[in-house]
Chains A and B, each alone.
Chain A
């Protein structure tokens, strides 16, 4: 990755990190679990009144050292190991993960409705098909799934993709069936230890691990699941309105989770999901796609390099339609993240993390091809400087005029596709107006919809084996889960 945007100096990063350590040592973290408080005390933390625990730097350093993926590789495992997402310094391009949410937005009719199982199947199938989408994140909280939504979402997703599937969960009770299915997919419990399941859950800002978060921390340790610690510190709401302070608070909250994970199960890999939300003071809404997010987007790559642990940074437009606001928010959220070196991002659809749309996946696909190309920068060498070919083209003279061009040059043939990454099946329109009218005067959404129908007709995700299907049947019986 050649291009690199840097907005914080080393000194500034050090200052922010030192403030995070000061927050943990002087202000402490509220922990609503006696067992975890005792564990922290036993390992050198100090417990004060009101369940506040103070973390000394040496404990944090020790736990950072025992985090195996720090300054190494962090893997999100797919059904197909060749589709694994491997985050680290050697990754070739930033990863993009599509996110399944609780509602579906029909792009052609502007209709908004609760998501269905069929919507999930289609969305995941399209994500499975697109090369620029590297994994799927599930968090629909579908009431239809009752108390087993974590499992139901996981099963629905793995049925339609061989790419990595991560789930967000607030229900430790649903982890056992997810674990059983993940173990079957990995080829047994021993294999699952090497290729762990990834589950995300939330700390509560400011500086609180409530009983639900603590239960998830313990569940991941109990089941050997790779935990993803999520912190949300909306600026001006539960975090400072200033960037430096807000980032310091985020780091403190993340490190508190990392310490608990390592003390519960030393050597468990862990990584982070960190959105930057701004509390919009005009509308009293927490917004992910804001000017504040675009600033954070510039810094997140530097921060994850500094910590040595990936920070997946979600993108979520606030627009309610597939309109200009959607395109603006998606672009401004995505481009600085990628240029800033963020290793992976999760892209939500629209409506403030509430809705998904299939056509939007094709816009993301187009944008990702462009930003990946931007990252590669400009190669300067004898061949790309093209002096010789220019000399040849300019040397063609007819009727005392230069008549050459590059269209018939092998140099163009060799380099056009490599430099520009054009697509024969592009959804983006590049026709002359007359031709565009002749083709039906279709909008991007209409063209994308046609392409989506084509993908769904032709792309058949790799089915689950008979053995896995019988494991699923057994899981359904054991945990009283209806067939999906």
Chain B
């Protein structure tokens, strides 16, 4: 049984933790289908593999934070366009606040320790 902490694993856990927030944030701008979300997340280096997003979207949808509609596509299968529900918007606000607080707190902590 491995008990060692894997750096890569820790990083991916961190990323996964904020993936929900980022996804909600992307959708806050407007409707998007998964590939669009993925592209934006990838461009900001928030995502390594795409597979992670689909279960997340489904979970958020099932928890009523998202809704979607089908749209035919010329280049492939029909696409699911997701958008935030009012609950989703509320969740985003909450998560944004938490994030800001956390970033401030962590940065402060790191800086303090570095200057010691």
Q: Do A and B belong to a common assembly?
A: no
Q: State the B residues within 8 Å of A (CB).
A: none
